[in-house]
Amino acid sequence: MRQFGPWEDEVQDKFFFDDWNNNGFEIIFFDGNPCGYMRIEYLPEVIKAHQLVLSPDFHNLGIGSYVLKQLQVEATMRKLLVNLNVLQENRAIEPYKRLGFKEIGQNNMHKFMEWSVQNYL
């Protein structure tokens, strides 16, 4: 309730339709076991991490950091930004900051974060 407010079927149906009706979802594996999923979108000027979700059993193992560091390497080589949105209540905000992501805005549900090689150096 604190993060999303009251449940509204129409709002949730639209959210799930819009978000899950996209191509590009990939399963994340750790030691050969599926542990999460991600959806990354490659645009001309930015790499957008739309989803990076790990099963709680795989939290705090460095998997999310590894995935994001790989995006940062690719972004550096291609001279692109990396953008992501994170829920206001998500505890991943601090790890994202440690990886060099800067908050560039927010709304009532998300913080908008961006990484560029210039911010990181």
> Would 68 be classed as within a structural domain?
yes
Decide if pLDDT at 102 tops 90.
Answer: yes
> Would 101 be classed as within a structural domain?
yes
> Would 63 be classed as within a structural domain?
yes
> Would 9 be classed as within a structural domain?
no
Categorize the per-residue pLDDT at 91 as very low, low, confident or very high, splitting at 50, 70 and 90: confident
CA neighbours within 13 Å on the CB side: how many for 39?
10
Whole-angstrom distance, CA of residue 26 vs CA of residue 78: 21
pLDDT in tens, 41-63: 999 999 999 888 899 999 999 99
Categorize the per-residue pLDDT at 109 as very low, low, confident or very high, splitting at 50, 70 and 90: confident
Decide if pLDDT at 110 tops 60.
Answer: yes
Decide if pLDDT at 8 tops 70.
Answer: no
> Would 8 be classed as within a structural domain?
no
> Would 2 be classed as within a structural domain?
no
Q: pTM for this structure?
A: 0.78
> Would 77 be classed as within a structural domain?
yes
> Would 35 be classed as within a structural domain?
yes
Categorize the per-residue pLDDT at 90 as very low, low, confident or very high, splitting at 50, 70 and 90: confident
Please count the structural domains in the chain: 1
Domain at 77, CATH number: 3.40.630.30
Categorize the per-residue pLDDT at 119 as very low, low, confident or very high, splitting at 50, 70 and 90: low
Which residue range is the domain that position 39 belongs to?
A: 23-120
pLDDT at 70: 95
